[in-house]
Amino acid sequence: MISARNIRKQFGGVDVLRGVSLELGKGEVIAVIGPSGSGKSTFLRCLNQLETIDRGDIEIEGEILASTDSHGICRYAPDKEARRICRKMGMVFQQFNLFPHLTVLQNIIEAPITVKGMSREAAVPLAQELLRKVGLLEKCDSHPSRLSGGQKQRVAIARALAMEPDIMLFDEPTSALDPELTGEVLRSMRQLADEHMTMLVVTHEMAFARDVSSRVIFMDGGEIVEEQPAASFFANPLQPRTRAFLNHLG
């Protein structure tokens, strides 16, 4: 579903991604972990063109979003094409980014109607179904300011799903939440995984990474240091840097 090869990215002359490659298969759940500043968010943002890459290749479901030729020149698909390709991916951020002036329901139907051209008659029942799925149907007429952080994040998940993506990208979706609220968000994510959604999840929730993901990637210093099936990653990390990171977490 996602094939990223040798992705390089600099910010102000500093290498933030030093050749990151990833293959994400259909229905797979990959957890990305690593210390602050290791490039996890940047990598995720590069995949759906919230950042542009300097070098490397990105294919989404077999379609080329960006590719680099033998002279090292990186080219993107034309704008319209690129936008269409990127819409295959939904993204959930640490900060929920809901529109404060819209109700929960309005937040969810906004993009399907304005971006996808879905009719209101089709968008509303879809939004209601998604809200039921994340356990928030009764909040459909509330404004985000009346919701807890965990509820806001579940609305953000429903909003991303309303675009009917094939792949979901999560960037530390629970790290802005109080510990007692993370469980409800993780439950919604686990349910998505059980329904075989293809997911790439940057997380610091090690239990989630171990129990829900099929593979774990450890990033440090802009590179993938280690990649293993989840069970062996935690039972038998091979790289000293991975061990140090996991030990540090206790």
Ligand X SMILES: Nc1ncnc2c1ncn2[C@@H]1O[C@H](COP(=O)(O)OP(=O)(O)OP(=O)(O)O)[C@@H](O)[C@H]1O
Cβ distance to Mg ion smaller for residue 172 or 226: 172
H or E stretch at 59 = strand 55-60
Cβ distance to ligand X smaller for residue 40 or 139: 40
Instruction: Report strand pairing: 55-60 vs 74-76.
Output: unpaired
Among residues 154, 155, 149, 162, which one has the least CA distance to residue 190? 154
**Is 203 a binder of ligand X (CB under 6 A)?**
no
Among residues 236, 28, 171, 172, which one has the least CA distance to residue 226? 236
- Cα separation, 106 vs 140, in Å, equals 8
Three-state secondary-structure class, residue 182? helix
Beta bridge partners of 71: none
Which residue in the set 20, 22, 42, 60 belongs to the binding site for ligand X (CB under 6 A)? Answer: 42
Number of residues that bind ligand X (CB under 6 A): 11
**Is 40 a binder of ligand X (CB under 6 A)?**
yes
Which of Mg ion, ligand X, none binds 37 (CB below 5-8 Å, type-dependent)? ligand X
Cβ distance to ligand X smaller for residue 52 or 148: 52
Q: Taking phi first (over 0 means left), then psi (-120 to 50 degrees means alpha), and beta for anything else, what does residue 216 get?
A: beta
Q: In the chain, helix, strand, coil percent, each to 5?
A: 40, 25, 35
Q: Kindly report the number of other CB atoms within 10 A of residue 125's CB atom.
A: 10
Nearest residue to Mg ion on Cβ basis: 41
In the complex, least distance from residue 147 CB atom to Mg ion, rounded to whole angstroms: 23
Residues 165-184, mask of contacts with ligand X (x by CB under 6 A): --------------------
Which residue in the set 24, 29, 33, 39 belongs to the binding site for ligand X (CB under 6 A)? Answer: 39
Residues 18-37, mask of contacts with ligand X (x by CB under 6 A): ----------------x-xx
Which residue in the set 8, 41, 89, 185 belongs to the binding site for ligand X (CB under 6 A)? Answer: 41
Q: Please name the residue that has the structure tokens 């979901």.
A: 168
Which residue in the set 20, 24, 41, 158 belongs to the binding site for Mg ion (CB under 5 A)? Answer: 41
Q: Which residues bind Mg ion (CB under 5 A)?
A: 41
